[in-house]
Amino acid sequence: MMSLIAAIAVVLADQTTKLAIVSTFARGEQTDILGAFFRLGHARNSGAVFGIMRGLGRYFTVFSIVAAAVIIVVIFLARQAQRRVRVGLGLVLGGALGNLIDRLHYGAVIDFIDIGANDAVRWPSFNIADLAITVGVALLVVSSFKPGTQHCQDDSQGNIF
């Protein structure tokens, strides 16, 4: 249930903000919020998260559908997992679904958050779905390190493996 709530919250927040952006900004238009550091604008991304591999939108549509199906199965199998695992899976699912909706509706993902130091040093534009995927994966990675579990061993000669 926790995963489902997280996924629904992400999809609603993601799609609501994207609708506001599309109805407020023309494609390519942006405005400074905190000077050049934080801007909002309307960009379209036919590639993967943070704009990598542009132009492969069809493949990412198929990948998103398959990924969402796999995540749903994993969520079902992880019903008894730690809360942060379930939330992490829900965030990843919600982000994948949010961007999939864009790909199906617009043919590309709507990105609108733009941060950087100046015009020369900018992080690729992103959206709430991208942020949720990133945070969800981080939660899953953190959850893989259980307290008290030794992940490497030190032998008597000082070699760590």
Cβ-Cβ contacts under 8 Å for 127 (sequence gap 6 or more): 14, 17, 18, 98, 99, 109, 110, 111, 112, 113
Question: 3-state class of 99 per DSSP?
Answer: helix
- Give whole-number Cα distances, 149 to 63, 141, 152, 153, in Å: 34, 14, 9, 11
The answer to whether residue 14 is catalytic is: no
**Given 14, 102, 114, 130, the catalytic residue:** 130
The answer to whether residue 119 is catalytic is: no
**Given 14, 102, 111, 114, the catalytic residue:** 111
Q: Hey, which residues are catalytic here?
A: 111, 130
